[in-house]
A and B are shown apart, each in its own frame.
Chain A
Amino acid sequence: MASTTTTVPSAGPVAGSRSFLSRLRQGDEIAHIITFLFAVSVVLVTLLLVFDLWQGSALPRHKFGFDFFRTSVWDPIFDHFGALPFIYGTLVTATVSLLIAVPLGIGAAIFLAELAPARVSDTLEFFIDLLAAVPSVIYGLLGVFIVVPLMRQYIQPALKHSFGFLPLFQGPAYGVGFLTAGIVLAIMVIPYIISVSREVLLSVPRDQREAALSLGATRWESTWKVVVPFARGGILGSIFLALARALGETMAVTMVIGNTPAISASLFSSGYSIAAVIANELTEATSNLHYQSLIELGLALFLLTFVLNGLARLLIVATSQRGAGMGNA
C-alpha cells in the first residue's frame, strides 16, 4: 500500500478557534490600550504640572538656587524668600493630623466593618462620607469659632500642666498654631481613612475570620491579626489619600495655624504651611519674583510629597511580612 500523507485539514475547528481567539485577543488588546491610555494620562498630567511649576519659578530658582530651601526669611518687600518655615509647618501639621486620624480612623473602620450590624454600619458610613463633603472653608470657620477657643481655654493649658516639661508643649498658647491645625486636618482626613478602610475590610473573605476563630483566637485577635493584615493594602492606600489631603489643604489650615513663618519645637507655636502661604499671597503678589517664589514653593511641596511617599513605601516594604494578603501600596 502506498503511504498516503493525510493532511490534517487546516480549516475546521482549529482554524475556526484561532480566528475566534484572535478576535478575543483584539477585544482584550483594545481594552488594554484604552485603559493604558487613561492610566498614562495621569502620569502625563502630573508631569505637565511639574513642568508648569518649573517654568513658572524660573526667576527665584536662578536667583536663590538651593538657598531657597535653607533660608527662613520671607520678605516680599525686600525680595528675600526662603522656604524652610513653610516646609517645616507642612510636615508638622501633616504628622500631627495623621497621628490623630489614623488610629481613630482605623478603629472606627474596624468597628463599622466587624461589629456594627449592617444597617447601622451603612447609615453611619453615609454620614461619615458627608464629612468629606463639608467645604474646607467651613472647616476653617468652625476651626476658628469652636476649636481655637477650646484649645486656648482648656486643652492647651491642660497639656501644659501635665506635659509642660516636653518642649512640644511649651510657650504661649493663643489657640492657633501647629496643634490646632493638625487637629482640624485630622477631622478633615478621617472620612477617607474610614470610608476606604471599611470597604476593604468588608471585602475580606469570611473564611479568613472563621479560620482564625476556629483556631481559638478571640474576636479581637482574629480581627487585628488576620483580617486587618489581609486588608493592609487598602488601608495603607487610604492613609496615602489622607496624607496627600493633609499636605495640600489650604483654606482650613490658614484660618487656624496663625500664619507666622516660624520654626519652633512647640506645638503651641503659630506657624505656616506651604499651601496656606500660596493661597494667602498668590492673588495679591505684585512683583514677579514674589509670584514665582510662591510657585517655587508649590514645586517644593511636590518634592516633599515625592519624598514622603517614597519613604512611606519603603517603610511598607521593609515591614511587610512575606505572603501577607494583598499588600500593594
Chain B
Amino acid sequence: MKRIAGLLVVVLAVAGVLWADSALSINGAGATFPYPMYSKWFDEYHKKNANLQINYQSIGSGGGIKQVTEGTVDFGATDGPMNDEQLKAYQDKHGSGILHFPTVLGAVVPTYNIPGVTAELNFTPDALAGIFLGKITKWNDPAIIDANKGVKLPADDIVVVHRAEGSGTTYCWTDYLSKVSDEWKTKVGKGGSVNWPVGLGGKGNEGVTGTIKNTPDSIGYVELIYAESNKIPYGNVKNASGVFVKASLAAVSAAAAGAAKEMPDDFRVSITNAPGKAAYPISTFTWLLIPEKFSDAGKRDAIKGFVKWMLADGQNYAEALSYAKLPKEVVAKEVLAISKIQ
C-alpha cells in the first residue's frame, strides 16, 4: 500500500511540474470544417513565435459561438455567421461586440455511387432540391436525365445520405437549397441541423462517404477537401449563370470574388449561388470570431498579430490543403478591420 502511495505522489509531482509558465496560451473553439487549415496555421505560427501557443479545438460552429459568448475560450470560429440574436446575446453579456473575420473558403460537393456509372453527372438546382426533398425518387427521373444526355442511368431508387450531426457543411448545403428552391425554404429551411425529409444520417464526412461507398444508388454531400483526398466521384452543379461547374479552388474563388464587391462591413455574407460564369454555387466563407475588447493586452496583441499573418503569409498555405484563398479585396478590407480589436 505504501508503495502505491509513493508512486502516486511521484506521478502527481511529475505531472504538476510540467508547469512551464513561459508560454502564452490562447484557446479557441469552433467549426470542424476548417480544422486542418487552422491546425496548420497555429502550428506554423507557433514555430515563428515560440512563446505563443494557440490551441484550437473543433467542437462545432454552434459550440464555438456558445463558448466564445460564455467566455471560456478567447476566440471562436464558425462556418455559418452569427445571427443578430446571437450577436445581441454576446453584446449583452460582455458589454462589447464580436467581430467576424473570414479566413478561407471551401465548397460542398454532391457525391454519389451509382453502379455502372463512371461519368461525372450534372445536377441542376431543381434536381438536387427534388432529390433531397424526396420528390425525385429514381435515378432515371427526367430532371436528372435531361442534364445528363448520353449517360445511362438505372431505374433504381435513390438513397439519400446527409450529415447526422449539426455542421457547417450542412449549413452551406441547406443555405444553397433554400436559395434555389422555395419549397425547400418553406418546408425545411437552412441551418446546421435540419429536419431532413428523407435519407440516412452519416456521422462526419467520413460517415457520409463510408455510407455512400457501401450503398449502391446513393447520393450525399461532402466538403470538397474530403472528396479530393478520398478520390470519390462528385458531380457538377449548375450555377446562377446557367453553367455546369465542377467544384475547384478556382471556381470557389470566383464565387467569392463576386461577393467581394458587396461585402458588408461585418463580413457576414452568404456566397452560395453567387453570380458569375465560373463561380461554383455551393461555396462558403468560414470565419474567426474575435471579441472587440480584450482585457488581456498580451492576448489581444497576440491575436492581432496572428490575424495579420493569416491574411498575408497564412493564405499561402491554403491551397495545399484544398482550401481556397480569400480574394484580394476581402483581404484588404479585413486588414483595415483589425484595428477594431482593442
| Residues in A lying within 8 Å of B, measured CB to CB | 73-78, 80, 140, 144-145, 148-149, 152, 172, 174-176, 254-255, 258-260, 270, 272, 276, 279-281, 283-286, 290
The closest CB in chain A to the CB of B174 belongs to: A77
A76–B195 CB distance below 8 A: yes
Top 6 closest pairs, chain A to chain B, by CB: A284-B166, A259-B201, A77-B189, A280-B165, A259-B164, A283-B60
B167–A284 CB distance below 8 A: yes
The closest CB in chain B to the CB of A175 belongs to: B214
Q: How far is the CB of A1 from chain B (nearest CB, A)?
A: 65
B65–A74 CB distance below 8 A: no
The closest CB in chain A to the CB of B198 belongs to: A260
Interface readout for B189-206 with A: 1 if CB under 8 Å, 0 if not? 111111110011111000
B159–A78 CB distance below 8 A: no
Contacts A259-B203, A281-B166 given; 13 further ones with Cβ under 8 A?
A77-B189, A140-B203, A152-B214, A174-B159, A174-B211, A254-B203, A255-B207, A258-B201, A260-B196, A284-B63, A284-B193, A286-B83, A286-B191
Which A residues touch B194, using CB under 8 A? Answer: 75-77
CB < 8 Å neighbour of A285 from B62, B159, B189, B203? B62
A181 to B203, CA, bound (A): 14
Q: Does B86 contact A (CB under 8 A)?
A: yes
Task: Tell me whether A285 and B195 are in contact in the complex, defined as CB-CB below 8 angstroms, given that A144-B210, A176-B211 are known contacts.
Answer: no
A260–B201 CB distance below 8 A: yes
The closest CB in chain B to the CB of A78 belongs to: B189
The closest CB in chain B to the CB of A153 belongs to: B214
Q: How far is the CB of B339 from chain A (nearest CB, A)?
A: 29
Residue from B166, B167, B189, B199 with most neighbouring chain A CB atoms (10 Å): B166
Which B residues touch A145, using CB under 8 A? Answer: 210
A104 to B294, CA, bound (A): 59
A149 to B213, CA, bound (A): 10
Q: How far is the CB of B239 from chain A (nearest CB, A)?
A: 25
Interface readout for B155-187 with A: 1 if CB under 8 Å, 0 if not? 001010000111100000000000000000000
Q: Does B215 contact A (CB under 8 A)?
A: yes
Main secondary structure of the interface of B (DSSP, over half): loop
A255 to B199, CA, bound (A): 15
Which B residues touch A281, using CB under 8 A? Answer: 165-166, 193
B193–A285 CB distance below 8 A: yes
B65–A144 CB distance below 8 A: no
| Residues in B lying within 8 Å of A, measured CB to CB | 59-63, 65, 83, 86, 157, 159, 164-167, 188-196, 199-203, 207, 210-211, 214-215
A176 to B202, CA, bound (A): 10
Which B residues touch A80, using CB under 8 A? Answer: 195
B201–A174 CB distance below 8 A: no
A284–B190 CB distance below 8 A: no
CB < 8 Å neighbour of A284 from B62, B86, B214? B62
The closest CB in chain B to the CB of A177 belongs to: B200
A73 to B197, CA, bound (A): 11
Which B residues touch A172, using CB under 8 A? Answer: 157
A148 to B200, CA, bound (A): 13
Q: How far is the CB of A166 from chain B (nearest CB, A)?
A: 23
B200–A259 CB distance below 8 A: yes
Which B residues touch A276, using CB under 8 A? Answer: 164
B164–A270 CB distance below 8 A: no
Q: How far is the CB of B50 from chain A (nearest CB, A)?
A: 32
B195–A254 CB distance below 8 A: no
Q: How far is the CB of B240 from chain A (nearest CB, A)?
A: 24
A174–B215 CB distance below 8 A: yes
CB < 8 Å neighbour of B200 from A78, A176, A280, A290? A176
The closest CB in chain B to the CB of A145 belongs to: B210
The closest CB in chain B to the CB of A75 belongs to: B195
Which A residues touch B65, using CB under 8 A? Answer: 286
A254 to B210, CA, bound (A): 14
The closest CB in chain B to the CB of A81 belongs to: B195
A283–B59 CB distance below 8 A: yes
Q: List 10 A-B contacts (CB under 8 A).
A: A75-B195, A76-B192, A145-B210, A148-B210, A259-B164, A260-B201, A284-B63, A285-B166, A286-B61, A286-B65
Which A residues touch B59, using CB under 8 A? Answer: 283
A284 to B207, CA, bound (A): 17
Which B residues touch A270, using CB under 8 A? Answer: 200-201
Residue from B159, B188, B199, B203 with most neighbouring chain A CB atoms (10 Å): B203
A260–B200 CB distance below 8 A: yes
Which A residues touch B83, using CB under 8 A? Answer: 286
A290–B193 CB distance below 8 A: yes
B192–A284 CB distance below 8 A: yes
A180 to B130, CA, bound (A): 30
Which B residues touch A75, using CB under 8 A? Answer: 194-195
Which B residues touch A279, using CB under 8 A? Answer: 165
A73 to B59, CA, bound (A): 26
The closest CB in chain A to the CB of B185 belongs to: A77
Task: Tell me whether A254 and B164 are in contact in the complex, defined as CB-CB below 8 angstroms, given that A176-B200, A281-B193 are known contacts.
Answer: yes
Q: How far is the CB of A274 from chain B (nearest CB, A)?
A: 14
CB < 8 Å neighbour of B203 from A152, A255, A260, A284? A255
A77 to B190, CA, bound (A): 7
Q: How far is the CB of B78 from chain A (nearest CB, A)?
A: 9
A196 to B279, CA, bound (A): 62
